[in-house]
Chain A
Amino acid sequence: MLRQLGDYDGTFSMLEELRRRMDRMWQDWDADEPGFSTQLSSSQAWPRVNVFDTGTALVLKADIPGVSEKDLQISINQGALSMSGERKSDAPQGYAVHRQERGVVNFSRAFALPVPVDTDKTTATIKDGVLTVTLAKAPEAQPRKIGVVAR
């Protein structure tokens, strides 16, 4: 009996390898579609964002050098966070241009929020050209400790 099983080993290890390869394929697939879904393909979008889950809040960070608070609009509507704005030209008058890598950008991005958020406790700040949006999670989405009772 044991010996018979042993004969199957080769087949099983082959199946195991197949399963592993399939898993890897799905992993690559999943990587393109994170839970916090974005509208545009992330390689082309401006500004680039990082989003962290700190437990009680979602924190979004984006590099937006040269964008002033007046030129930036952020709104939350039905579980979607959208931000749009404009980076104006700061090219000086009367100068010859040698190199221009920093462009004028009109941008608009939207994100589906994975959890309900408390819009009243949401804050957005710009410091040193970095935007930080802090979205407090709604009370029902806050992490909760469940006490274990021993009987």
Chain B
Amino acid sequence: METRPKMTKYEERSPERVQQRTTVAPRVDVYENANELLLLCDVPGATQESVSIQLDKGLLTIEANRKDEPTGSSLVAEYRPSDYARVFSVPQGIDAAKIDAHLSGGVLRLRLPKSEALKPRRIEVRSQ
């Protein structure tokens, strides 16, 4: 009687195949104040070099690759380390040159400063 599922890895059976990588959408918080939009994004396993952020035609693309982990025989497999990808549409008034990204402890902090035109402005009322 077979007690264990077959553990032969796909890569071992056909080493020359093109491997499809799995991608998941990372979890994101979006905050806004008068000066900027702030995105917090969970990308555990991603390194500074592997993250790429792009703003093009009002679309903000966040991508991050994750290295394959060296494995032994698997005892528990509750998740599969995957690459990250997510796209947001952002308002036109974001100053693309001043976008700032910071990665720490698997959390990506992305600051999208608003351009001057979008910021709230106080108009002085004059009386004559």
Cα A35 to Cα B33 in complex, Å, equals 50
Contacts of B44 in A (CB 8 A): 63-65, 128-130
**Known contacts A23-B1, A65-B42; is A129 also within 8 Å of B105 by CB?**
yes
How many residues of A are in contact with the other chain, CB < 8 A?
45
Whether the Cβ atoms of A64 and B106 lie closer than 8 Å is: yes
Whether the Cβ atoms of A91 and B76 lie closer than 8 Å is: no
Interface status of B40 (Cβ within 8 A of chain A):
yes
Contacts of B69 in A (CB 8 A): 61
Closest approach, in angstroms, between the C-beta of B31 and any C-beta of chain A?
4
How does the 8 Å CB contact mask read for B95-114 relative to A, with 1 for contact and 0 for none?
Answer: 00000000101110000000
Interface status of A98 (Cβ within 8 A of chain B):
yes
Query: Which residues of chain B in 49-95 are interfacial with respect to chain A, using CB atoms and an 8 Å cutoff?
Result: 69, 71-79, 81
Contacts of A128 in B (CB 8 A): 44-47, 103, 105-106
Interface status of B2 (Cβ within 8 A of chain A):
yes
- The chain B residue with its CB closest to the CB of A94 is B33
Listed in ascending order, the chain A residues whose CB lies under 8 Å from chain B are 23, 27, 30-31, 34-36, 38, 42, 45, 48-55, 58-59, 61, 63-68, 90-92, 94-102, 111, 114, 126, 128-130
Nearest first, the 3 A-B pairs at minimum CB distance are A129-B106, A65-B106, A129-B44
